[in-house]
Structure 1
Amino acid sequence: MVIELYDTTLRDGTQGEHINLSVQDKLLIAERLDEFGVDFIEGGWPSSNPKDEEFFLKAKKLNLRHARMAAFGSTARSLDNIEGDLNLLGLVRSETPVITIFGKTWKAHSVKSLGISDDENAELIHRSVRFLVEAGREVFFDAEHFFDGWKDNAAFAERMIASAVDGGASRVVLCDTNGGSLPHEIAEIVKRVRQLVAVPVGIHAHNDGDLAVANSVEAVRAGATQVQGTMNGIGERCGNANLVSIIPNLMLKLGEEFSHVKDLKALTSMSKFVFEILNLPSDTKAPFVGKSAFAHKGGIHVSAVMKESSLYEHIDPALVGNRQRVLVSELAGQSNIRYKAKELGIPLPEDNALFRNLVNHVKKLEHQGYQFDGAEASFELILRRELGEFTPYFEVLESKVVIQNGQDVKPVDQAVLKVAVGEEFEMTVSDGDGPVNALDKALRKALVAFYPEIRTIKLIDYKVRVLEEKQGTSAKVRVLIETSDGQTTWGTVGVSTNIIEASLQALKDSLNYYLFNNQSKAAEQASTSETLNG
């Protein structure tokens, strides 16, 4: 049985506390979800806020290979104005091939929240779905509070999903909205619904009882063929069903298949990437992908796993892109680095001494606080420098940042840089909107005469994370920068106790990465042209 993977990280996930994504963040995650093999990406609720409307506008330009974009919304507000309902019209304007709408399937909500009769609620669902289907969209119906509603009044809940199917819904997704159902309840109800409707059934679970993953797995075992959830389980209250755990459980334990997820080796990096874009620390204890998921500390366990890892590990960690760790003598992450290098198209040497030095260098940087998920450009530069393929295009010899403000003083953020390019030196001064913007402008100003192509790139996102909160203002910070040339986007990272220094590191990597790739492409094109002409 092939399971559909429906990701709602960009919509339901953003309702979680401390979760905030910019439009650019959402675009980056959408591309990564598509690359991983997700079937449907729920991008947001276009009628609820300008950010989601902007996202859907820009998402049309994404070159998605597998995933189909879905917009989310509700049934119409009133039976009197289906065709003029702003929510439904906003969903149509999003121009996504799939639209997911939710409707009330718990009688208590229909009566108390909407204040309408059973007949009116059924008609509202039917006509809302029909309106969207007639607009040329495939419609999924999220049966909100379905499990609580079914346990309260099964006849009502069943009638509402039947109305959605009659209206043209191609999927009925059963939602455990309050997250309080138990696995055996989920299984029994899913089996019942599959007997009632002729369309595929999905599951949308929340984690208030810490059972969202188990409930989703049980739903699949009972016949559900679409699983909805979020990466890392982010979401409102206790979160949504965690796809990072659901996917390997279904594939590795139950032998289920997904349409486009064939290789789970990217799962760990996918999880870390999303955490990094969210500007949140990775969950070290996360099953399958956490740093501690396959960590062993001393004694009998270490002795046993060194002889036979399956004695204390439920799967081979390499299957999900993770690795075994022995805490008393941590193992080098050689396989991870080889995998990442292969992904970037960088052949690594078989020379054990050279490769060991490379691994140790990366491990040392990670110990200092560097993290390269979401900053692959910095990681690539490190690999190429260690392999002798890359030399920085410039060097910042001196830097000074002036921050001036006061009651009777005009606020000024100014950066002064002395930059060397080969044997030539350039001294520049630039004002900016904040010290990092001033640094960015000063660095570009110094380099543009040597590398005019950098005019085409711009910084599009900037994040700072404090790494050692207990150290207070003396703590290390990690700065993550996203840069774009209008066609591609790349991330770089810097770490320091000085936020300005960390920012400068990331900025330098960003420009060096662009120059390296730009000149490599030019050399490749010249070589190809020479071959053709010769």
Structure 2
Amino acid sequence: MKQQISIFDTTLRDGTQSEGISLSAEDKIKIARKLDALGVHYIEGGNPGSNSKDIEFFNRVKTLQLNAKITAFGSTRRKNSSVEQDTSLLRIVESGVPAATLVGKAWDFHVHTALQTTLEENLAMIGESIAFLKRHDMEAIYDAEHFFDGYKHNPEYALAALRSAQDAGADWIVLCDTNGGTLPGEIHDIVGAVRRELSAPIGIHTHNDCELAVANTLAAVGAGATQVQGTINGYGERCGNANLCSILPNLQIKMNYPCVTDDQLAQLTNTARYVSEIANVHMPTGQPFVGNAAFAHKGGIHVSAIMKDAKTYEHIVPELVGNKQRILVSELAGQSNIISKAQQLGLDINANNDKTRSIMNKIKELEHQGYQFEGADASLELLLREAFGETKSIFKLESFKMLVERNADQLVSEAIVKINVDGQTVYTAAEGNGPVNALDNALRKALVQFYPGIMDIHLSDYKVRVIDENDATAAKVRVLIESTDFDNTWSTVGVSSNIIEASWEALVDSIRYALLHIAKVEQTAEGQRRQLGLINH
């Protein structure tokens, strides 16, 4: 059995340095809970001495009783001063966290240029700061900033910085590729050299400036590092940090290093998508392991092969990381794609079925009109289920109106919707941040009294594509809407020469798909309760 690898998540600190990401204290609390459920061992929450938001987080997180160690971040003491008078160190201790990470210089160039102090003073800053934490019974983690650049330039001094931390009692010595410019072979060799020089456990912290952060982290573990630092989805300054969503499955599934439990690893995709929603950053479709297209198949030859054995075109079982196989259907798809997709939905379909050929022809005709189902799985599922008579009319649109008014300096959108639900006419109006949001709000307002679960669903992305630019303003548009309930994400499509109508079509499909699956969950739960004798037969 290989040695346990400690997972150190810095999404709440280093991840927030990513351009376009800002998390409130409440956002951080939500993400911390999710990271704890994933099984990470350390959650770096921020710098308790830097801003009121981080102070609030550290005050609130104490009440959560998480399994992960909440870790504060700070720097070694200021030059030519004492640790007892260093405000940052004092606030770390006052925060009440069990562990802290202190960043300190390991590159002599930085000592002279950035700190503008002597090499000896820098070593004293490291040692005295780590010792200060240990005197307060805290776990002390030393992040050796720019270590690899420093080692390549002056290995003796870089190692001296590490020894200063180790001699002061550091629990972890973390080697940082802060500029992200080191190659995997260099990482492996240097980590190996450090392991021969030090007795303290080694961690690795890499940045992605050369698209090598994950590879560098794996190389470091292969050379003896036993703590890995990174962020969910690779968020971080410049090009980002090492992506834990790739590191975790590679370490645990490919390299057989124990990191988290199998059940926790199966929460990886859900965690990645949850964090992206809270951070309000769209996840790349092709992100390895957790992306929506990570196990998606479009080519007819590929689909035909995976129907025989998924290992033909999938390197792992998607469910190991909480993802799922997807079959994409388009005008390029062969019959195998339709059959496989229908079989996934539990529909009785085969290659010699006239209905199969009819569905294929209908899909190709719709795509000729501008629809695109490879990016709209939910609309495709509804189309297939309708063909097999497995859907019912949840509601019927009687009419809708859109009002857009310029009021002073504000543009106000209002939607008025009239629908029929089981013979009952419902008439509602709602405002929104734009016409589509207003329509969404009005439709939910009309349906929530019949289907309360609809309030857990929201739109996460909205895209418009002009299908034929030559038609100018009369051109058809394709609208793709992505929706989520945090546990699942689905996409729907609408096409029209009127953008509002196309949006409405995609929006209605999204709601119909959600309600279809809510009904399935409720039926499953009711069946389980009947089996347990909790309700009467």
- TM-score, with structure 2 as normaliser: 0.70
Cα distance, 1:141 vs. partner? 1.7
* Offset from partner CA, 1:45-104 (integer Å, 9 cap, x none): 45445555555566556675x544333333344553644544345545655443322111
Cα 1:477–1:43 shift into 2, 3 Å: farther
Which amino acid is 1:38 matched to? V
Quickly say closer, same or farther: Cα 1:528–1:467, change in 2 above 3 A. same
Distance 1:382 1:167 in 2: 66
- Structure 2 matches for 1:31-180, cutoff 5 A? 31-49=33-51, 52-53=54-55, 56=58, 59=61, 64=66, 66-78=67-79, 80=81, 82-83=83-84, 85-92=86-93, 95-180=96-181
Separation in 2, partners of 1:126, 1:470: 64
CA distance in 1 between counterparts of 2:160 and 2:478 reads 58
In the alignment, which residue of structure 2 is the partner of 1:466?
A: 463
Which residue of structure 1 lines up, in the alignment, with residue 373 of structure 2?
367
Decide whether aligned partners of structure 1 residues 371 and 206 sit closer, same or farther in structure 2, where only a CA change above 3 A counts: farther
Identity of aligned pairs, percent? 39
Counterpart of 1:486 in structure 2 is none
Distance 1:325 1:493, change over 3 A: closer
Residue range with higher mean Cα deviation, 282-291 or 164-173 = 282-291
Give 1:143-292 correspondences, 5 Å limit. Answer: 143-261=144-262, 267=268, 278-284=280-286, 286=288, 291=293
Return the offset for 1:313: 6.3
Matched residue of 1:257: which SS? coil
Distance 1:279 1:209, change over 3 A: closer
Describe the shift of the 1:282–1:523 C-alpha distance in structure 2 as closer, same or farther (beyond 3 A).
Answer: same
Q: Whole-Å Cα distance in 1 between the matches of residues 394 and 304 of structure 2?
A: 49
d(CA) in 2 for partners of 1:46, 1:170 = 21
Contact 1:397–1:418 (8 Å) recurs in 2: yes
1:405 shift after superposition: 0.3
Q: Which moved more, 1:209-218 or 1:271-280?
A: 271-280
State how far apart, in whole Å, the 2-side matches of 1:367 and 1:11 are.
Answer: 39
Report Cα offsets for 1:231-283 as digits up to 9, x if no partner.
44343333322333333333343322214346755555655665566543524
Give the unaligned 5+ runs of structure 2. Answer: none
Asked if residue 3 in structure 1 is aligned to residue 1 in structure 2, the reply is no
Distance change >3 Å, CA 185–CA 428, structure 1 → 2: closer
Larger radius of gyration: 2
CA distances 1:28-55 after superposition (whole Å, capped 9, x unpaired): 5544444443333334445445555555
Amino acid across the alignment from 1:478: I
Deviation string, structure 1 residues 323-358 (Cα, Å, up to 9, x no partner): 4979864647979997xxxxxxxxx97x7559x99x
Corresponding residue for residue 415 of structure 1: 415
The letter for the 1-side match of 2:424 is E
CA contact (8 A) 1:463 1:479 kept: yes
Q: Distance in 2 between matches of 1:379 and 1:99?
A: 50
Q: 1:315: how far off? A: 5.2
Distance verdict in 2 for CA 1:513–1:116, change over 3 Å: farther
Which amino acid letter does the alignment assign opposite residue 140 of structure 2? V
Cα contact 2:144–2:162 (8 A) shared by 1: yes
Structure 2 counterpart SS, 1:2: coil
Report the Cα distance in structure 2 between the residues aligned to 1:175 and 1:467, rounded to whole angstroms: 42
Residue-pair matches, total: 505
Aligned mates of 1:526, 1:253 — CA distance in 2: 40
Which whole-Å deviations, capped at 9, do the CAs of 1:104-158 have from their partners, x for residues lacking one?
Answer: 1111112211122223222322333344444554332211111111222223222
Deviation larger for 186-195 or 420-429 = 420-429
User: Structure 1 unaligned runs (5+)?
Assistant: 339-347, 373-377, 484-488
Range moving further from structure 2, 279-288 or 107-116: 279-288
Q: 1:490 and 1:198, CA in 2 relative to 1: closer, same or farther beyond 3 A?
A: same
How does the TM-score come out when normalised to structure 1? 0.71
Amino acid at match of 1:424: Q
Match of 1:344 in 2: none
Secondary structure, aligned partner of 1:142: strand
- Whole-Å separation in 2 of the counterparts to 1:206 and 1:84: 32
Once residues 43 and 462 of structure 1 are traced to their aligned partners in structure 2, the CA distance between those partners, rounded to angstroms, is: 28
How far, CA to CA, are the matches of 1:94 and 1:331 in structure 2? 56
User: Structure 2: how far apart are the matches of 1:143 and 1:293?
Assistant: 38
Aligned partners of 2:16 and 2:236 also within 8 Å = yes
Give the partner amino acid of 2:251.
L
Q: Which amino acid aligns with 1:260?
A: T
Asked if 1 retains the 8 angstrom alpha-carbon contact of 2:480 and 2:491, the reply is no
Is contact 1:322-1:336 (8 Å) kept?
A: no
